[in-house]
Amino acid sequence: MAHDLNKLGLTTRSIHAGQHKDPATGAVAPPLYQTSTFAFDSCGQGAARFSGEEEGYIYTRMGNPTIARLEEAVSTLEGGAGGLATGSGMAALCTSVFALLEQGGHIVSSSSVYGPSRVVIERDFSRFGVTATFVDSSDTAAVAAAMRPETKLVFVETPANPTLTISDLRAIADIAHAHGALLMVDNTFASPILQRPIEHGADVVMHSMTKFLNGHTDVVAGMIIPASDALLKRIRASHYYFGAVMDPHQAWLVLRGLRTLSLRVKASQANAMRVAEWLEAHPKVEWVAYPGLASHPQRELAARQMDGPGALMSFEVKGGVKAGAAMLDHVELMTLAVSLGGIETLIQHPASMTHAAMPREARLAAGITDGLVRVSVGCEDVEDLLADFAQALEHA
């Protein structure tokens, strides 16, 4: 492509990034190279590829043309140095920590993160001598206070799953860098259409592409986007040994979904704004957390750091868990299911589902109340969603 994509809009970029006319056939859609290995012309060529003297594919765990297109596309959207595709969002997190931390290292993490992200840092990486402190990262001073000489990584989710709290990326990047640590941001909730953490000083961005980037609720996938060539090289060296890589067919499907990312995010965000306002005005609703509402404590920060408040919100029905469960049991159009960021609206109960593996005290300290309900608003006609909320809330 002759254009400099970085000068074009994000919708254009999401449609064209990583898109190259297939030199063999002219195919416009990306060819699917569903192969585990690539033939060498000679022994010498095989050796040259392994030594790095000659560019070219070797083995799909080390690289594949279909996966490379997706890595290029997502990195272009995030403004990174490159992408490293992984088999899931968890694989993106684990590969990054595996690559960046050493025994004795310390992580400062947001307390409200996807439940398993917290569990793997707290329980599994501690078995290898990597410790962690969890803080409310929307309180920048709390992040600063948790830093230690051995802190190597600050890990932030913003907006946070499932509390929708917002953390100040620029301020936290400055704190991390002043301590010689890196900032890694899980950008799953926002997607690069709404937030590009590298612009705010992040060193590594990760995604569960299972969510908005793929968007069609049919693939589990992840991506790591380092901000610099040095970090790309460092994480890449661990990426193919750790082995939590992507399959070409997975990459092909995510590329297909990515082309409508901007359209989907904008449509679901417009719906989410209406749903949030409607829920907040409903007599049976105790509170709503959505960064687009005037009642959100970090609304101004969200407006400064993001290009829109997104499609996720949480709320609590008056009467807590019992009333919330009664409502959840009666949704008809919406689907009672975990995951998020798809074209359809999904609703779930974090305390018993996505965040059930976290101890209750840790959940409550992170602001994940027993009655909190999380909604990922999809692209349906909003009046139909409001009608479904109205009838489901009658049962609460």
Asked whether the beta carbons of 74 and 258 are under 8 A apart, the reply is yes
360 as an active site residue: the answer is no
Residues that bind ligand LCS (rule: CB under 6 A) add up to a total of 18
Segment contacting ligand LCS by CB under 6 A, of 73-81, 136-144, 167-175, 183-191: 183-191
| Alpha carbon distance, N-terminus to C-terminus of the chain | 55
Under the binding rule (CB under 6 A), the answer on residue 114 touching ligand LCS is yes
**Nearest C-alpha neighbor of 75 from the set 181, 221, 216, 232:** 232
Asked whether the beta carbons of 99 and 130 are under 8 A apart, the reply is no
186 vs 247, which CB is nearer to ligand LCS?
186
211 as an active site residue: the answer is yes
Give the number of other Cβ atoms within 10 Å of residue 333's Cβ. Answer: 16
Under the binding rule (CB under 6 A), the answer on residue 358 touching ligand LCS is no
Q: Which of 13, 33, 69, 114 is catalytic?
A: 114
What is the rounded CA–CA span in Å between residue 203 and residue 228?
Answer: 7
Asked whether the beta carbons of 193 and 177 are under 8 A apart, the reply is no
> Which of positions 213-272 make contact with ligand LCS (CB under 6 A)?
220, 222
Under the binding rule (CB under 6 A), the answer on residue 131 touching ligand LCS is no
Segment contacting ligand LCS by CB under 6 A, of 136-144, 184-192, 232-240, 306-314: 184-192
Under the binding rule (CB under 6 A), the answer on residue 138 touching ligand LCS is no
For 247-279, give one letter per residue: b (16+ CB within 10 A) or e. bbebbbbbbbbbbbbbebbbbbbebbbebbebb
Can you state the angle between helices 89-100 and 229-242, rounded to 10 degrees? 110
Q: Left if phi > 0, otherwise alpha if psi is -120 to 50, otherwise beta: which for 308?
A: left
Q: Is the peptide bond before 162 cis (omega within 30 degrees of 0)?
A: yes
5 vs 188, which CB is nearer to ligand LCS?
188
114 vs 252, which CB is nearer to ligand LCS?
114
Q: Residue 248 CB, nearest distance to ligand LCS (Å)?
A: 18
218 as an active site residue: the answer is no
Under the binding rule (CB under 6 A), the answer on residue 325 touching ligand LCS is no
Under the binding rule (CB under 6 A), the answer on residue 369 touching ligand LCS is no
186 as an active site residue: the answer is yes
Segment contacting ligand LCS by CB under 6 A, of 11-19, 133-141, 338-346, 362-370: 338-346
> Which of positions 81-100 make contact with ligand LCS (CB under 6 A)?
88-90
Residue 272, classed as helix, strand or coil, is helix
Contacting positions for ligand LCS (CB under 6 A): 88-90, 114, 117, 157, 161, 186, 188-189, 208, 210, 220, 222, 338-340, 354
Query: Where in the sequence numbering do the catalytic residues fall?
Result: 61, 114, 186, 211
